[in-house]
Amino acid sequence: MSELVSKAEELDAADELAGLRERFVLDSGPGHAAGAAGVYLDGNSLGALPVTVPDRVADVVRRQWGELRIRSWEESGWWTAPERIGDRIAPLVGAAAGQIVVGDSTSVNVFKALVGAVRLAGDGRDEILVDATTFPTDGYIAESAARMTGRTLRPVAPAEVPGALSGRTAAVLLNHVDYRTGRLHDLPALTAAVHEAGAYAVWDLCHSAGALPVGLDEHGVDLAVGCTYKYLNGGPGAPAYLYVRREVQDRFDSPLPGWNSHAEPFGMRPAYAPAPGALRGRVGTPDILSMLALEAALEVWDGVSVEAVRAKSLALTDFFLECVAAYAAPGRVECLTPVAHAERGSQVALRCDDAEQVMRRLIERGVVGDFRAPDVLRFGFTPLYVGFADVERAARVLGEVLALADGRR
């Protein structure tokens, strides 16, 4: 045990991102009692609160809304917030400016992107492929999009996509990181295979954006969506985003045209004419309060390299697996997350028969991860605020909880 504690201290001392922890409200950070021992490993579900957000939201409510009122659409920049904040997200997912618009939920943006991709493909292609292991909502949306567009939906494991592609394929909807296991799928190779078949690629980045390099522009991704309340720390219910590659923007036909995406939004024309560029991905009036909270949250990324975040993420998850192996009885838990760096996101998923009870006891002892039915413990590692001492303590408490549970049997 002492060796792992010492190793954690050494790793924390050498961590170039350690200072970023002070940008968040944590159990042992600003706004909390010194010495509090909580460990938050659920940033893959809801990121921690950046310290700048409360005052910014207070200003939006009291001054921008309370005093300026309607004038804030122009004077406070409310009207341009969706594309302005999109440009803040762009470098975090490897995109140039002018290709991301923020607004609506992830589910709504999946619907826009997938139907838009089918329309880009044209009438000669009658099949949609969807990640068979996808987050359920993506599957629901894909099924509805297939019915609406008259296409056949075929669930396929990501690794099997290249062999399933054909001249019938219109679009492929894939997750960059599997939400249950933390497996990182090969976005460059799969996107290339989709394009070779003449189809369009739609990627869900919910579990990768803010945790690792994505390279949307570099790898020619056509359309992508993602949430902002996980590794981007935008807050509960924060708006999602839609990426539309510049080369397809003039042909992108959104299934949800709204007054906010009209070329003349205040012209009140009876006929719809889409705005230029990614703006045609907008729909209705933006949710200003949560959108501007997100904008404030994104300031924590100022001066931060996504590559450095990825390096720390891999080091954190490597160290966690090392500690779990030392503290948990052999065979007590099974790691579902790939060991290979090229196949790992920023979470570790462990399988154990009594996972729900184990996670409940972990949370009672201040180690917060989450449980996914029927038997998965998920631990998310947000490199901006998780340290190596956190990792060692989480694994040590896990080992103690498992031993106590075994003693009760």
Q: Which conformational region is residue 77 in: left (phi greater than 0), alpha (psi within -120 to 50 degrees), or beta? A: left
Catalytic residue among 111, 229, 243, 320, which? Answer: 229
379 is known as an active-site residue = no
Task: Quote the DSSP letter at residue 151.
Answer: P
Q: How far apart are CA 10 and CA 262, in angstroms?
A: 55
**3 state DSSP class of 2:** helix
Q: Tokens 């949560």, residue? A: 290
Q: Which residues of 286-325 are buried (b: 16+ CB within 10 A; e: fewer)?
A: bbbebbbbbbbbbebbeebebeebbbbbbbbbebbbebbe
The contacts of residue 168 (CB under 8 Å, 6+ apart) are 125, 126, 127
204 is catalytic: yes
Q: β-strands 169-175, 127-131: how paired?
A: parallel
Per the CB < 8 A criterion, the answer to whether 309 and 211 are in contact is yes
Given 104, 204, 222, 390, the catalytic residue: 204
Query: What is residue 208's three-state secondary structure?
Result: coil
| Active-site position among 135, 179, 327, 381 | 135
H or E segment to which residue 143 belongs: helix 136-149
The one catalytic residue in 88, 230, 245, 282 is: 230
- C-alpha separations of 84 from 78, 283, 298 in Å: 10, 16, 12
Q: Does residue 27 have an active-site annotation?
A: no
CA 152 to chain CA centroid, Å, is 28
H/E element holding 397? helix 388-408
The secondary structure of residue 251, as a DSSP letter, is: G
Tokens at 392, concatenated: 């060692």
**Rounded to an integer, what distance in angstroms lies between the CA atom of residue 326 and that of residue 324?**
5
CB-neighbour burial class of residue 28 (10 A; exposed 0-12, middle 13-18, buried 19+): middle
The tokens of 213 are what? 């390099």
- Could you confirm whether 327 is annotated as catalytic? no
At 219 the three-state DSSP class reads: coil
Q: Is 312 noted as a catalytic residue in this protein? A: no
- Rounded Cα–Cα distance for residues 58 and 1 (Å): 45
How far apart (Å, rounded) are the C-alpha atoms in residues 198 and 169? Answer: 8
Q: Which of 378, 381, 385, 396 is catalytic?
A: 378
Show which residues are catalytic: 135, 204, 229-230, 378
